[in-house]
Structure 1
Amino acid sequence: MDGSFIRKFPRFIGMLRKLEEIHASRCRSLEKIPEEFLGLFRLRNLVLSDSNIPSLPGSISSLSHLQNLDLYGCDNLHEVPLLPTSLATLRLTYDSSKLKSLDISNLTNLKELSLANYLEDEASPGTDGYLMVEPISLLGIGKVTKVETLKLCLPGFTKLPEMDALKQLRKLDLQCPDLQHLPRLPKSLKKLTLRDCKSLKTLPELKYLKSLSGLELLLCSVMEIEGLQNLSSLVALLISHCELVKLDGLECLTSLRTLTISYCDSLQGLPDLSNLKKLRTRHIQHCKNITQKDSL
């Protein structure tokens, strides 16, 4: 059904009791999801990405086997009802002038969550097409305690809910240009990506993130990474288009295997990295204050 010109699902679809998957991505003529979905008791995977639907039926909450809901690129969406608690993956990009609130507090089995508004023509470089113009009301993000991967693109948010209760969170990707402070993060975190966080001037002490193996800073205004030397499990560090002045503690990251630094003109130099015996890949380029010796 992907890419078809279907305007609505046939009414008999609710009679397909054993149906487990519906793939209806890129169906730009699709305008409505019928209440007959109530009968799809075994539906596990529902892909409606890049469709024109304005809302979802309230009956979707009764689909007790639904695990994956993909609403990527549904820019006409203005209402999302309570979703089934069985959901493990939710991907949602939307027009923030239409969708004003989203309550995910009941999604206690959610493992992967991606939220953003998609405005491809206005997206800034390096942001993978994610951009938002107005904040929505995001309810219950601190209650999805089983989430393992979280990706949020939330311009307009100067702060985010504390996340230290998300004990199973492994990957966190934030694109929040108005964010002024990072929330408390869980010790379980393995990869942290901050992109386009231009209002974030400092990072909190990260020494408690003992499991962190990957750190990426892209298009950020952070000037220093406090406690960098304590990230004993860090394997990969990527910094690009940032305002970092120094990288004190970099020489202590004895587990580091990959180091990538680019377009950081404020960076005044690098410490001696000769003690990093596990370092296999080092790419340092377009940093005007880094000497050729440092970049080797």
Structure 2
Amino acid sequence: MHVGELHHSIGEMTRLKYLSLSSSALTTLPDSIGKLKFLLELDLDGTGITELPHSIGDLKMLTKMSLVMAPMKRLPNSIGGLESLIELNLEDTHIIELPACIGNLKRLEVLHLSGTALRVLPKTIGMLENLKRLEASCCQNLEGEIPSEIGGLCCLRTLNLSWSNIRRLPATMNQLSHLQQLHLVGCHGLEQIPELPVSLKELEFPPHLLWTAPDLSYLTTLVNLHITEKTPQLLEFIRGFPKIEWIEELSSLERLEVIMRDVTFPPINLATLSRLRVLKITCVEPRSLMGLPSSLEELCLFDVKWLMERSLFSNLTNLSSLELRNCRLREVEFDDVLGQQLVKLHGLGVRDSELIERLSMPTLKGLQRLIV
């Protein structure tokens, strides 16, 4: 379909509610698109559209618009007229900036910006009083500081800024009283973490921040904590201990990942985390793990360089899966380390461990899955 045919068709379908032109060869939309007064959803994914006509703002009933992978760089100012819009998907477009009128979309709940060429978030984004989800991962041109106005997003539940080049988060982050998920993995330029809302249930950030991170023990509702990925700055801190003691106070944690290759941790007692089910942690010196909770079901130890002792596993009666990754030992006597008390242990894995020459495990009679 070319633009002339679409213009003619629109004249005959003025009561249309759903329009999908995805993957078509269209490069423009006719101005007559504004005549579709009853249109609820508009799908332009994968089209060649480089710009939207001014009349797009006349779609007063439109609730969802998607432009994934369309090669457009800007939105028209009339976009602010989409007073019923609930979801706007601009993923993998060439969008450089958002118009200030984006703040007029008072009913917007979901905004997808991941993979765009976006350079800054406009200050008016703080006017999106019903926004619940803001996805802006892999925006490599997104730099500097997130505007303080973001603190006005009183309904925001998910904020994803992963793999962007932001350097600072504003102090107003703690005003996001409904925020449950904050994703900052791969933000290698991020300088520090401000005070965060106590409502958080899931938090991801790069490990270099552990040397400057404040005490986050107040996040007592946190369920998932992920501190992973290689970062260029890590080599600068590798001689000192990261600040991780506050993790002991996160009583609601169910999943914890703290993975930093070759970094030795200070002693930490995780036995206080009575709800923890999954633990993946760098463990260069196993004695740094002073205690583990009996609730653990899955345990993965990275970069083990020193022999493990049976005391590390003595109370893990619910453990069903144990894995060693990048283990630096030549042999592991699982009989000596684990004993016979791990009756629920069904899975055992030793991966990426080139030095391993011998594994001993004859008493693990309940084993169902072995990966070496």
Give the letter aligned to residue 291 of structure 2: R
Unaligned runs of 5+ in 2: 1-112
Counterpart of 1:54 (choices 144, 150, 167) is 167
Distance 2:122 2:267 in 1: 42
Shift in CA distance, 58/139, structure 1 to aligned 2, threshold 3 Å: farther
Aligned to 1:203: 309
Unaligned runs of 5+ in 1: 123-131, 262-296
Structure 2 SS opposite 1:54: strand
Distance 1:118 1:144 in 2: 24
Shift in CA distance, 94/184, structure 1 to aligned 2, threshold 3 Å: closer
Distance 1:224 1:160 in 2: 24
Number of residue equivalences: 248
Q: Report whether the alignment pairs 1:229 with 2:371.
A: no
Give the letter aligned to residue 54 of structure 1: R
Give the letter aligned to residue 215 of structure 2: D
Distance 1:175 1:94 in 2: 12
Deviation at 1:104, TM superposition (A): 1.6
Give the letter aligned to residue 187 of structure 2: C
The question of whether the paired residues in 2 share the 8 Å contact of 1:87 and 1:110 is answered with: yes
Deviation at 1:65, TM superposition (A): 0.8
Deviation at 1:257, TM superposition (A): 1.1
Shift in CA distance, 14/119, structure 1 to aligned 2, threshold 3 Å: closer
The question of whether the paired residues in 2 share the 8 Å contact of 1:21 and 1:45 is answered with: yes
Listed one character per residue, the Cα deviations across residues 38-58 of structure 1 (whole Å, up to 9, x for unaligned) are 110110000000111111111
RMSD: 2.5
Counterpart of 2:250 (choices 118, 141, 144) is 144
Deviation at 1:208, TM superposition (A): 1.4
Choose 136-145 or 237-246, whichever is displaced more: 237-246
Counterpart of 2:292 (choices 147, 171, 185) is 185
Q: What does residue range 272-291 of structure 1 map to in structure 2 within 5 Å?
A: none
Structure 2 SS opposite 1:53: strand
Structure 2 SS opposite 1:137: coil
Deviation at 1:207, TM superposition (A): 3.2
Deviation at 1:167, TM superposition (A): 0.3
Deviation at 1:63, TM superposition (A): 0.8
Aligned to 1:163: 270
Distance 2:289 2:263 in 1: 14
Distance 1:70 1:152 in 2: 15
Deviation at 1:102, TM superposition (A): 3.9
Give the letter aligned to residue 348 of structure 2: L
Higher relative contact order (CA 8 A, sep 6+): 1
Distance 1:138 1:186 in 2: 17
User: Identity over the aligned pairs, expressed in percent?
Assistant: 33
Structure 1 SS opposite 2:172: helix
The question of whether the paired residues in 1 share the 8 Å contact of 2:123 and 2:150 is answered with: no
Shift in CA distance, 230/94, structure 1 to aligned 2, threshold 3 Å: closer
The question of whether the paired residues in 2 share the 8 Å contact of 1:77 and 1:99 is answered with: no
The question of whether the paired residues in 1 share the 8 Å contact of 2:200 and 2:222 is answered with: yes
Shift in CA distance, 244/74, structure 1 to aligned 2, threshold 3 Å: same
TM-score (norm 1): 0.76
Counterpart of 1:174 (choices 281, 290, 293) is 281
Aligned to 2:205: 92
Listed one character per residue, the Cα deviations across residues 237-294 of structure 1 (whole Å, up to 9, x for unaligned) are 11242647552xx344343211223xxxxxxxxxxxxxxxxxxxxxxxxxxxxxxxxx
Listed one character per residue, the Cα deviations across residues 91-150 of structure 1 (whole Å, up to 9, x for unaligned) are 112546x96234221111111111135248x9xxxxxxxxx8464323511111111111
Deviation at 1:159, TM superposition (A): 3.2
Deviation at 1:193, TM superposition (A): 0.4
The question of whether the paired residues in 1 share the 8 Å contact of 2:263 and 2:282 is answered with: no
TM-score (norm 2): 0.61
Q: Report whether the alignment pairs 1:114 with 2:214.
A: no
Q: Report whether the alignment pairs 1:6 with 2:6.
A: no
Aligned to 1:82: 195
Distance 2:165 2:245 in 1: 25
Aligned to 1:270: none
Q: Report whether the alignment pairs 1:45 with 2:158.
A: yes
Aligned to 2:142: 30
